[in-house]
Chains A and B, each alone.
Chain A
Amino acid sequence: MTATAETTAGSRGSQPPVPDGAVTVTVKIRRFNPEIDDEPRWDAFDIPALPSDRVLNLLHHIKWYVDGTLTFRRSCAHGICGSDAMRINGVNRLACKVLLKDLLEKGDKRTTITIEPIKGLPVHKDLLVDMEPFFEAFRAVKPYLVTYGNEPTRERIQSAADRERFDDTTKCILCACCTTSCPVYWTEGSYFGPAAIVNAHRFIFDSRDEGAEERLDILNDIDGVWRCRTTFNCTDACPRGIQVTKAIQEVKRALLFKRV
């Protein structure tokens, strides 16, 4: 699948007023609509934007005022919901957490921003991919508290230190930035991928949980943690700053030494 043509798309009518301080940037987007396209293509849009704009603002500008067919997911627009993971200038990021000022070229050089869908999941349309395989891997690691015996009447007691043990992996928003930055995942879609392991970690190291062995068995599988080649792409990609690779290593160690 290679890009076949580069076009600069037209406009859907008069453009809104350009704000003071705006600069013109070129946004190159990898497009694909299986309804009409045989192959993906690149479209380039020259649009005005403020340095304080998020990349999501740029995509909205294009969709709202230039090309309404441009398709992507988004919701909260401040890095909490995990909808708008995409490859921005070759790295996985949330479009709502990247500001234009951090992408601008120095001097008078025109800035070009390249945006592609995240890799390793089938593209449905433009920047919108099929998330089902990703969520399937998540669901497969038993991502919920497993306990046996009677429930206490009040809360379970957990020390602040025990709570801290798995704090990092509770931050996951299931955006798929990590999993779709992993070279192993690109070639072997059956690999659970970093996000599923992060969510297994969140429970394996929770002192209240009694399902660690079941999850470790699942992750000891041929498509489990041993696929990880410690490239750290996932850690770099995580918009929540989770130490993803470290979490995977901790799960590996738990398997090797049979203790959590």
Chain B
Amino acid sequence: MQFHKYDVVIIGAGGAGMRAAIESGQRARTAVLTKLYPTRSHTGAAQGGMCAALANVEEDNWEWHTFDTIKGGDYLVDQDAAEIMAKEAIDAVLDLEKMGLPFNRTPEGKIDQRRFGGHTRNHGEAAVRRACYAADRTGHMILQTLYQNCVKHGIEFFNEFYVLDICLTETENGPVCTGAVAYELATGEIHVFQAKSVVFATGGFGKVFKTTSNAHTLTGDGMGIVFRKGLPLEDMEFYQFHPTGLAGLGILLTEGARGEGAILRNASGERFMERYAPTIKDLAPRDIVARSMALEVLEGRGAGPNKDYVLLDCTHLGAEVLETKLPDITEFARTYLAVDPVVEPVPVYPTAHYAMGGIPTNIHGEVLRDNDNVVPGLYAAGECACVSVHGANRLGTNSLLDINVFGRRAGIAAAEYALSRETHVELPENPAAAVEAQVALALSEHGQERVADIRTELQATMDANASVYRTEDTLKTALHDVQALKERYAHISVQDKGKRFNTDLLEAVELGFLLELAEVLVHGALARKESRGGHAREDYPNRDDTNFMRHSMFYKQGDGLSADIRMDYKPVTFTRYKPMERKY
């Protein structure tokens, strides 16, 4: 075992982690632990843009952005947090530009802006140009720019370190976070990092689904670790399905395509979104578009030999717009489906994309241990966190915004907290014991179950039973399946017993997190007997503000993988916007 001591430890090196590191690293002694190399993080796969009311191309203001975010989230958004995000969006974009991000430009040389789903002028009148972008690789540019600035500031990275546990020390005022425990991929060694503050920025858990835009590595490790510590997760039933995944593959095609004028059509060529969202049509928020697409297919109007997808028609945009503003997705369609978007429409279907829920935090990124109290020294930001600025449905571009605004806030808060403490709080006794036991157990001979089989079955049941539309029956099936898979997981076999780059072992560990989080998702979806945002129940088709205008909170009761889940609720923060019926 190796031991390290820092002021701040940041876990994860995607957009949120590196944005936090840039702030923290200039203030306090900071280490970034990441299970990948930083530039491999999935922020790099984000495409369309990052919204901020710069008003560079037409009238706009951050209050409209706040409203759109709250309405887009079906009023489950904490309004104080949304207001902060929309207000600080402007500086967040300008900061990135000053760091060197090569945004597309207007004819006057200012940052160009394009339309995006759910972002409107004057509270819903019409789509507004609010998304700042760099072709259709905005996330790539953000990730590269943040990494470049980490290099500039000499940020210390521990690459390919898998954090598997955090250290909580009990004090008379409750638990305090005192460090993290990591497994080093290269050597199999366990490292204990003592720290005054720890920031989780570990991203999402899209790999609970089969059809997903998410990377293989998005296995919800951070959320899983926090949950196993008895700390809550919030709003986990709200999972976003991005409307335009490449059919059958799930690879993302940006909403920016529709922002540039692309149109969704069913088998007969009808622009079906005119029926579901007459005002902004194809630029309705993602939950509405994904449900409309699923309905078109369910009602027999799907395209293709099996009528199981719809079509994204870009042909009228012309080769130049596609090559200059949407080059990557044009290439994806050509490479993976052998379809050329310049001349033919692209088969698309909703793909599991983004977790609205996660580790509950306040607006400073401090992690909550219940509805009212924080865990001193513990922070979270980005997709793994739930502030909640996305409520029941995130608007497109608001995740790139979230990582920059709240990554920055968490980095500053973690560093300032660390600087305000003269000494490190003592670590709990034997901080590495749990991880050492976990690794030893996984490597021991205790069964013949294959990780790939359990993961494949998990993804299949989640796709079939807990995706765009859900019912009591399908969710019960999913819950039953996940619980059975957890029992089988107790008998997994890891074939690689070595210490050196043992990715076989880590896939097994990651599957444990996926199973845990899938169960929480399904549990929450069963309990929420209403339809709101990304959570659509066929058996409860309406929003029920009387009973469910509140956040879900999930707590693990006990230690084992099969321990019970306790549910609680947390009130939504309202400032100036009263819930209204959601029409577009």
A and B associate in one complex? yes
Q: Is the CB of B499 within 8 A of A154?
A: no
Contacts of A34 in B (CB 8 A): 500
A194 to chain B, nearest CB (A): 16
Interface 1/0s, chain A 29-47, versus B by CB < 8 A?
Answer: 0000111100000000000
- The answer to whether A69 and B504 touch (CB under 8 A), given A13-B450, A76-B44, A80-B44, is yes
B167: CB under 8 A from chain A?
A: no
Q: Which residue of A lies closest to B448 (CB)?
A: A13
CB-CB contacts below 8 Å: A55-87 with B: 63-65, 67-69, 71-83
Q: Are B45 and A80 in contact, with the CB atoms below 8 A?
A: yes
**Those of A92-118 within 8 Å (CB) of chain B:** 97, 99
Q: Does A185 contact B (CB under 8 A)?
A: no
Q: At the interface, yes or no: B335 with Cβ under 8 Å from chain A?
A: yes
Identify 5 residue pairs between A and B in the complex whose beta-carbon atoms are under 8 Å apart, listed by A's number: A67-B495, A71-B502, A156-B98, A170-B102, A209-B100
Additional pairs, 19, CB under 8 Å, beyond known A12-B450, A73-B40, A144-B149: A13-B448, A13-B450, A34-B500, A63-B503, A64-B451, A64-B452, A68-B494, A68-B504, A79-B335, A80-B328, A81-B215, A139-B151, A152-B98, A155-B97, A155-B98, A155-B103, A160-B107, A163-B103, A163-B105
The reply to whether the CB of B566 lies closer than 8 angstroms to some CB of chain A is no
Bound-complex Cα distance A151 to B91 (A): 13
Residues of A whose CB lies within 8 Å of any CB of B are 12-13, 16, 33-36, 63-65, 67-69, 71-83, 97, 99, 124-125, 128, 131, 135, 138-139, 142-145, 151-152, 154-160, 162-163, 166-167, 170-174, 203, 206, 208-209
A35-B499, A69-B498, A81-B42 known; A159 vs B217 contact (CB < 8 Å): no
Q: Give the chain A neighbours of B499 by CB distance below 8 A.
A: 35
Contact (Cβ within 8 A) A143 B151: yes
Question: Smallest Cβ distance from A105 to chain B, in angstroms?
Answer: 20
* Contact of B39 (CB < 8 Å), options: A81, A97, A144, A166: A81
CB under 8 Å from chain A, chain B span 72-102: 93-94, 97-100, 102
* Complex Cα spacing A69 to B111, Å: 48
State in angstroms the CA–CA spacing of A141 and B104 once bound together: 25
**Of the residues B42, B102, B152, B498, contact of A35 by C-beta under 8 Å:** B498
Report the separation of the CA atoms of residues A13 and B450 in the bound assembly, to the nearest whole angstrom.
8
B144: chain A residues at CB < 8 Å are 170, 172
Select from chain A the residue with minimum beta-carbon distance to B47.
Answer: A80
- B residues within 8 A CB of A157? 108-110
- Is B98's CB under 8 angstroms from A159's CB? no
- Residue on A with the closest CB to B102? A170
A76–B42 touching, CB < 8 Å: yes
- Is the pair A69, B495 in contact by a Cβ cutoff of 8 Å? yes
Interface residues on chain B, number (Cβ under 8 Å): 59
The CA of A170 and the CA of B139, in the complex, are separated in Å by 12
> Within the assembled complex, what's the spacing in Å between the Cα atoms of A77 and B493?
25
Q: Which chain B residue lies CB-closest to A56? A: B216
Q: How far is the CB of A57 from chain B (nearest CB, A)?
A: 11
A78 touches B336 (CB 8 A): yes
Chain B nearest CB, measured from A213 CB (Å): 17
Name B115-150 residues within 8 Å CB distance of A: 134, 137, 140-141, 144, 148-149
Of listed A77, A155, A157, A166, residue having the most chain B CB within 10 A? A155
Are A156 and B97 interface neighbours, CB within 8 A?
A: yes
Q: How far is the CB of B259 from chain A (nearest CB, A)?
A: 19
Cβ–Cβ contact B140 & A160, under 8 A: no
- Scan residues 435-467 of chain B and give those whose CB is less than 8 A from a CB of chain A: 448, 450-453, 456
Indicate if B577 sits at the interface (CB-CB under 8 A). Answer: no
The 4 closest A-B pairs by CB, nearest first: A68-B495, A145-B100, A64-B452, A157-B109
Shortest Cβ gap from B44 to chain A (Å): 5
